[in-house]
Amino acid sequence: MDIVLIILGFVLILAGIVGCILPVIPGPPLSFAGLLLLHFTEPVDLTAFTLILTAVLATVATVLDYIVPVWGTKKAGGSKWGTRGSGLGLIVGLFFAPIGIFVGPFIGAMLGELLYHYTKKDNPDNDSVKFNKSLKAAFGSFLGLMFGVVLKLIVSCFIAFIFVKEVIIEVF
């Protein structure tokens, strides 16, 4: 049974790392689930501190992944239109994976911001200013998305490192 748990745990770890890039798969929680399966094997006994630390890291990375792109859009001067456009672009981008996952939120935020600036009645800005503001907000959304991906990868790779280290030390 231990071998089955180790293999399933390893599969979850790999799925977690892939999930860091594909937004439909919750990367860090899957990696944590793989580590949890390893904990239930006979030869491996992870400490409570290790399990709590990795659970907190996985939770924080997952929550921040949803917050940071919105924060990036807002920090770059984006409106709610840009934020919503970024989210919609992410959903549409899933159908054009893997490139669409990264380009979709950028294009969505850009289009949302352009719609916002062109429908705002009291906006005296010329076309180039509207475009530049929209581009800046879209870039903020993209940077937020990339930060979330990198953060999830760091957490999932850390969990994978613990998994591999424990398997090597305790099993072999």
Read off the pLDDT of residues 60-117 as tens digits, 9 standing for 90 and up: 999 998 788 778 878 888 888 888 888 888 788 888 877 887 888 889 989 998 998 8
Average pLDDT over residues 29-51: 94
User: For residue 52, how many other CB atoms are within 10 A of its CB?
Assistant: 10
Report which of residues 121 and 45 the model is more confident about: 45
The torsion angles phi and psi of 44, rounded to 5 degrees, stand at -105, 130
Report which of residues 135 and 102 the model is more confident about: 135
Q: What does the pLDDT read at residue 8?
A: 97
Residue 165 has pLDDT above 90, yes or no: yes
Q: What does the pLDDT read at residue 72?
A: 83
Read off the pLDDT of residues 153-162 as tens digits, 9 standing for 90 and up: 999 999 999 9
Average pLDDT over residues 135-148: 87
Where on the phi/psi map is residue 169: left (φ > 0), alpha (ψ -120 to 50), or beta?
alpha
Q: What does the pLDDT read at residue 13?
A: 97
DSSP code string of 112-154: HHHHHHHH-TT----HHHHHHHHHHHHHHHHHHHHHHHHHHHH
Question: Would you place residue 55 in the very low, low, confident or very high pLDDT band (cuts 50, 70, 90)?
Answer: very high
C-alpha closest to that of 132 among 110, 103, 116: 110
Residue 167 has pLDDT above 80, yes or no: yes
Least confident range of 30-39, 98-107, 120-129:
120-129
Domain boundaries, the chain: 2-171
Amino acid identity of 96?
Answer: F
Reduced to 3 states, what is the DSSP secondary structure of residue 84?
helix
Residue 138 has pLDDT above 80, yes or no: yes
Residue 10 has pLDDT above 80, yes or no: yes
For the chain, what percent of residues have pLDDT higher than 70? 98
Q: Which residues contact 152 (CB under 8 A, 6 or more apart)?
A: 19, 20, 27, 28, 61, 62, 65
